[in-house]
Amino acid sequence: MNRVFAYSNYDLVNNVITLHLLPRLRYWASLEIMKSLRDCDGVLVDLGAGDGSMTKYLLKLGVKPRSIVLIDPAVNGLPMMRGGSEIIDKVVAIGEMLPLRSSSACIVYTAFALRQFSNKPLAMVEVHRVLRRYGSFIVLEFWRPDAVLIHALLLYYLTLPLPLLVSIIAPRSIREYSVMRLTIKNIGPISWLRDLIDKLVGDVVSFRKYIGIFVVIRARNIRDAHLRINSPESKL
């Protein structure tokens, strides 16, 4: 998570590079968050919040949680969040060491940030720790596809067409967006992400893919943490 998430044209650039799917993807993720609120009405955590784009979208939809904590390691991104200040707290921290009490969060959600976490398994363990029992974890991501051909096409897109698009729309951010190719190369595929979440956070109750590279996942914290973390299949 770096200056990409604090750039003033963040939504414009990402809407273009996601083939204008950004509003729809956020809407689908928001539906999962709203479903989760029926089971657990409490504190929400926006993990890797950047400038708060996902949270701002939720508030525009009329979602009114008790409290929202925005967490991001980039100090220059969080201050850009406007609106809903009476229920929003901004915290500078990393996903691998969340400054929250155990079982304190009703919902943790992350949008286009998890891909850049240095230690994804450790971050998932932390998400499980801070979630209440029956709390939910929602992920909206741009991820490495399982299909080899789609993966090759995606790497080509990130190597040539993407830098060209960014140079036209937001030339000051070419360097920041160029790291997207590396984040895709150095992670497991979507199936690996689903298994990681299922083993370390909670049971995956909703899983949707779009054009093979975008994914929305919702998991519920049902099983006990010590059983989940110490189980043989959790050794990823």
Residue carrying the six token digits 């993720």: 29
In this prediction, residue 83 carries a pLDDT of: 58
Written as six digits, the tokens of 98 are: 């969340």
In this prediction, residue 234 carries a pLDDT of: 43
Position 54: which residue type? M
Written as six digits, the tokens of 146 are: 């399982």
Is the Cβ–Cβ distance between 151 and 122 less than 8 Å? no
pLDDT tens for the chain, 236 residues: list them.
434 444 456 677 788 778 788 999 999 999 999 999 987 878 999 999 988 999 999 999 998 888 999 999 987 767 666 655 778 999 999 999 999 999 999 999 999 999 989 999 999 999 999 999 999 999 999 999 999 999 999 999 988 888 888 888 878 777 777 778 888 888 999 999 999 999 999 999 999 999 999 999 999 998 654 444 444 444 44
Cα–chain-centroid distance for residue 174?
A: 22
Q: What angle (nearest 5°) sits at the alpha carbon of residue 105, between those of residues 99 and 50? A: 60
CATH 1.10.1740.10 fits 3-234, yes or no: no
Q: What are the CA-CA distances from residue 103 to residues 108, 119, 127, 148 (Å)?
A: 11, 21, 9, 39
Residues 6+ apart with CB under 8 A from 234: 199, 200, 228
Residue 84 gets the label, from left (phi > 0), alpha (psi -120 to 50) or beta, of left
In this prediction, residue 9 carries a pLDDT of: 65
In this prediction, residue 82 carries a pLDDT of: 61
In this prediction, residue 139 carries a pLDDT of: 98
Which of 77, 123, 66, 134 lies closest to 100 in space, CA to CA? 123
Per-domain residue ranges for the chain? Answer: 3-234
In this prediction, residue 184 carries a pLDDT of: 87
